[in-house]
Amino acid sequence: MRPSVAFIGLGIMGHRMLTNMTAHGGFTLLGGWDPNPAAAARTRAAFPGLAIAESPEALIADPAADPAGRLQFVQVFGEVNQPACVPVLIDLVRHSEDDALRIASLNSLQSYRSAEIGISVVAIYNALNDEARSAGQTLLASRALWTKEFLEAIEQGRIERASVPLDLARKMTVHRSEGIPETIARLWDRIEGATTEEMRGEIERLRFTTAQ
């Protein structure tokens, strides 16, 4: 199977990689994008057969795009901070019939902070299959604002408490704001809080995402 390669950044290094991969052969070049219009224009001129998008969100918005390439770009936007992609990622969670694409979108959305992410995932939670729901639970437990939205839906009966693993409920106690520990105590009578090691891990994760 030929490796598939997507390019975010078409400056000197991106151009060099494209040149080498084209000369070597054996790669499926999926397309790319660069925030610098001049770099994008140079790449179009040098590699006329390569699809260069006008915006990062355009790389993942087209349902007719190559599925493997679209999936790879969705995964990339969990690592490369591009807030303009958030509405498209949310739309994929809501409407995509491709489970791999939906799960990848849920995973990538964890890197962003928008309140709309938590609201949208809670709204579609009951329609997710088991694997996608697990990804959604991980997302909703990862930030206090989303966890609060999640817990409110459980308290209001919009989401069944039984659908939430006890281990996840315990991990959500890492959030000490927004009344989260008190809500968890009401929903689950006896549950131990997150360990010190888990809290340290959450602090490191938040420090990393804040630095992006």
Q: What is the pLDDT of residue 199?
A: 45
Evaluate if residue 123 carries a pLDDT over 50.
yes
- Mean pLDDT over the full length of the chain: 88
What's the rounded Cα separation, in Å, for the pair 171 and 151?
A: 13
Q: What is the pLDDT of residue 207?
A: 45
Mean pLDDT check: name the lowest of 59-73, 90-104, 166-180, 192-206.
Answer: 192-206
Q: Name the token pair of 95.
A: 């409407």
Question: How many Cβ atoms from other residues are within 10 Å of residue 114's Cβ?
Answer: 17
Once rounded to an integer, what is the mean pLDDT over residues 11-33?
A: 89
Q: Which of 53-62, 67-76, 103-112, 184-193: highest mean pLDDT?
A: 103-112
Dihedral pair phi/psi, residue 32, rounded to 5°:
-170, 180
Are 81 and 108 in contact by the 8 Å Cβ rule? The answer is no
Q: What is the pLDDT of residue 153?
A: 98
Question: How many Cβ atoms from other residues are within 10 Å of residue 93's Cβ?
Answer: 26
Evaluate if residue 148 carries a pLDDT over 90.
yes
Q: What is the pLDDT of residue 193?
A: 53
Residue-wise pLDDT for 95-121, tens only, equals: 999 999 999 999 999 999 999 999 999
Kindly state the percentage of the chain with pLDDT values over 70: 89
Residue-wise pLDDT for 196-211, tens only, equals: 455 445 445 444 444 4
